[in-house]
């Protein structure tokens, strides 16, 4: 029932966002230049990071703010299942909003390449971009367990993301520019996402509503 | 089987330096309708939240149906129905959807009871929760709480914010639900008139501290007001066992006593020699006010 509720609660926003972005990618002419693809990639990242922030910040804070959290917490459901379902459904939606248009773009280009990235690296680069979006979601999700106001969670999430980008993104971009492997970044992002989720679980387990 | 549905021992909950609940000792007998009285901010909701394991006590112990709500939270919630103050539910769900959603959590969910209450409360299954009136939303919350066949029903100021007519109707619904099964009901409110209709036992809480607990009839028999009229102004040093409050007005002195007896009246007459002594019965409303106002 928790899965159904999460899906019903977020499906309209998710499907609208997905429809818009896939529609945009789908309707672009197949002859766009590399530079156009670059800007499209940047737009796609920014768009899905925005969506990640909205979905992450609304996960727990919005329910506490609207007083519906007490309703669900008074039911015989384990706390980890309440928070775990929220995380899983919203994470899947965020990741799908990024991966689906990317796959469409790749399929339309009809080459095993994503923007200027060589074939042997492109899967890792897509994974890194997806993990960046997932990180934006996970960190905002964590803040939504801590703070009560959705806007505050979004702001804190964006700040944390900017701090991360300021600390590591230039190195990663340099590696990408030089077509180097970015395995370390994949590990770092995976660890950060897992840590953010784990912290959310622990905080929510002890949260008083 | 445990004789008490709810038992707290020196239950304390502190938020920073503020004591929301302070060393509260409560015992709610199985099968009773227990009224939990207190002004707004007295600590009623905090107590109820600790009973449900929604917040952890700072110190002291809580047992609900013989279980610890923190350690056995799932089992406690399986057996307890809860209607919160201004209960908020998912506005976007339809009535039939929220019934299906809630039923998924309970092993003893009774779909027939849910359908019956839905009909009796005139809830349209296809209506959105958000489109229901406040009274209808409270009825829906009560129906959801009762359909899991709980052993204990906790109602936290359920009529708050309802207009007098809806409040009366809602109370009738509660009385009707209570008559059907001998379950324990823990009813928190700050509106006394509604409590007298349904409760057999009450506890009065003020500023987190328990002032008194006992059967309503016993309270009404033992807590009395005595009006002493003197020839001149009344003495300033009136003292007697069980004296709750003293009010002076001209030649009259109004005493509130917690364990009134004819013996005690005799003692007062003998000690202070009033011209006249008149015993007044107190309503639950007045008893509540006397306990809350006596600091």
- pLDDT tens digits for range A127-176: 888 999 999 999 999 999 999 899 999 999 999 999 988 878 778 777 77
Residue from the list B56, B101, B106 with its beta carbon closest to the beta carbon of A76:
B106
Q: State the Cα–Cα distance between residues B253 and A56, nearest whole angstrom.
A: 65
CATH of domain B4-215: 3.40.50.300
Q: Which residue of A has its CA nearest to B97?
A: A5
Q: What does the pLDDT average to over A85-104?
A: 93
Please tell me the least confidently modeled range out of A180-184, A200-204, B218-222.
A180-184
According to the model, what pLDDT value does residue A108 have? 74
Residue from the list B77, B84, B101 with its beta carbon closest to the beta carbon of A70:
B84
According to the model, what pLDDT value does residue B295 have? 63
Q: Tell whether the model's pLDDT for residue A113 goes beyond 60.
A: no
CATH of domain B223-293: 3.30.70
Q: Using an 8 Å Cβ cutoff, are B272 and B235 in contact?
A: yes
Q: State the Cα–Cα distance between residues B145 and B110, nearest whole angstrom.
A: 11
Contact A71 B77 (CB under 8 A): no
Contact B54 A5 (CB under 8 A): no
According to the model, what pLDDT value does residue A182 have? 82
pLDDT band at A1 (very low <50, low <70, confident <90, very high): confident
Backbone angles phi, psi at A115, to 5 degrees: 55, -125
pTM of the predicted structure, to 2 decimals: 0.87
Mutate to test the interface with A, among B46, B51, B73 (most CBs of A within 10 A): B73
According to the model, what pLDDT value does residue B75 have? 95
Buried b or exposed e, range B138-159, using 16+ CB within 10 angstroms: bbbbbbbbbbbebbbbbbbbbb
A88 Cβ contact list (under 8 Å, min separation 6): none
What stretches in chain B show pLDDT beneath 70?
1, 161, 176, 178-182, 295
Residues of chain A whose beta carbon is less than 8 angstroms from a beta carbon of chain B are 1, 4-5, 8-9, 66-68, 70-71, 73-78, 206, 208-209
In terms of pLDDT, which residue wins out, B268 or A78?
Answer: A78
Domain extent at residue A46 = 1-207
pLDDT band at A38 (very low <50, low <70, confident <90, very high): confident
- Other beta carbons within 10 angstroms of residue A98's beta carbon come to 24
According to the model, what pLDDT value does residue A109 have? 67
Residues of chain B whose beta carbon is less than 8 angstroms from a beta carbon of chain A are 49, 52, 54-56, 73-75, 77-78, 82, 84, 86-90, 92-93, 100-102, 104-106
Q: What does the pLDDT average to over A39-54?
A: 90
Contact B90 A4 (CB under 8 A): no
CA distances from B6 to A148, B77, B142, B214 (A): 31, 13, 20, 14
* Direct distance between the N- and C-terminal alpha carbons of chain A, in angstroms, rounded to an integer: 21
According to the model, what pLDDT value does residue B31 have? 87
Beta strands in B119-193 (DSSP E): 152-156, 184-189
A89 Cβ contact list (under 8 Å, min separation 6): A3, A6, A7, A10
Q: What is the CA radius of gyration of chain A?
A: 18
Number of compact structural domains in chain A:
1
Hey, what are B38's tokens? 């207190």
In terms of pLDDT, which residue wins out, A111 or B288?
Answer: B288
């Amino acid at each position: 029932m928790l899965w159904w509720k999460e899906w019903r609660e977020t499906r309209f926003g998710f499907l609208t966002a997905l429809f818009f972005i896939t529609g945009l990618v789908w309707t672009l002419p197949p002859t766009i230049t590399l530079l156009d693809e670059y800007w499209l990639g940047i737009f796609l990242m920014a768009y899905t990071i925005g969506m990640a922030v909205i979905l992450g910040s609304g996960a727990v804070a919005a329910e506490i703010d609207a007083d519906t959290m007490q309703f669900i917490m008074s039911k015989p459901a384990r706390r980890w299942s309440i928070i775990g379902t929220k995380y899983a459904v919203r994470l899947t939606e965020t990741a799908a909003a990024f991966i689906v248009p990317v796959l469409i773009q790749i399929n339309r280009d009809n080459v095993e390449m994503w923007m200027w990235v060589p074939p042997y690296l492109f899967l890792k680069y897509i994974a890194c971009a997806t993990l960046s979006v997932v990180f934006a979601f996970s960190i905002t999700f964590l803040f939504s367990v801590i703070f009560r106001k959705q806007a505050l969670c979004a702001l804190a999430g964006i700040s944390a993301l900017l701090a991360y980008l300021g600390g590591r993104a230039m190195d990663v971009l340099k590696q990408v520019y030089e077509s180097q492997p970015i395995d370390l970044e994949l590990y770092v992002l995976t660890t950060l996402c897992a840590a953010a989720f784990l912290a959310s679980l622990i905080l929510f387990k002890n949260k008083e509503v | 089987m445990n004789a008490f549905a709810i038992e707290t021992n020196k239950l304390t909950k502190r938020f920073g330096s503020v004591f929301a609940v302070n060393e509260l000792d409560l015992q709610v007998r199985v099968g009773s309708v227990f009224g939990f009285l207190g002004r707004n901010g007295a600590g009623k909701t905090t107590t109820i939240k600790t009973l449900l394991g929604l917040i952890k006590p700072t110190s002291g112990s809580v047992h609900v149906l013989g279980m610890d709500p923190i350690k056995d939270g799932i089992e406690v919630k399986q057996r307890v129905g809860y209607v919160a103050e201004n209960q908020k539910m998912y506005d976007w769900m339809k009535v039939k959807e929220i019934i299906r959603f809630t039923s998924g959590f309970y092993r003893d969910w009774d779909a027939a009871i849910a359908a019956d209450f839905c009909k009796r409360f005139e809830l349209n299954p296809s209506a959105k929760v958000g489109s229901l009136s406040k009274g209808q939303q409270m009825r829906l919350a009560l129906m959801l709480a009762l359909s899991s066949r709980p052993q204990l029903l906790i109602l936290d100021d359920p009529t708050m914010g309802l207009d007098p007519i809806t409040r009366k109707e809602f109370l009738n619904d509660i009385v009707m639900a209570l008559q059907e099964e001998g379950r324990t009901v823990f009813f928190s409110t700050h509106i006394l008139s509604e409590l007298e209709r349904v409760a057999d036992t009450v506890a009065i809480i003020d500023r987190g501290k328990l002032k008194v607990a006992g059967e309503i009839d016993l309270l009404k028999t033992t807590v009395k007001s005595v009006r002493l009229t003197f020839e001149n102004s009344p003495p300033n040093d009136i003292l007697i066992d069980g004296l709750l409050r003293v009010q002076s007005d001209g030649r009259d002195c109004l005493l509130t006593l917690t364990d009134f007896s004819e013996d005690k009246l005799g003692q007062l007459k003998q000690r202070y020699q009033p011209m006249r002594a008149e015993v007044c019965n107190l309503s639950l409303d007045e008893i509540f006010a006397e306990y809350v106002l006596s600091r």
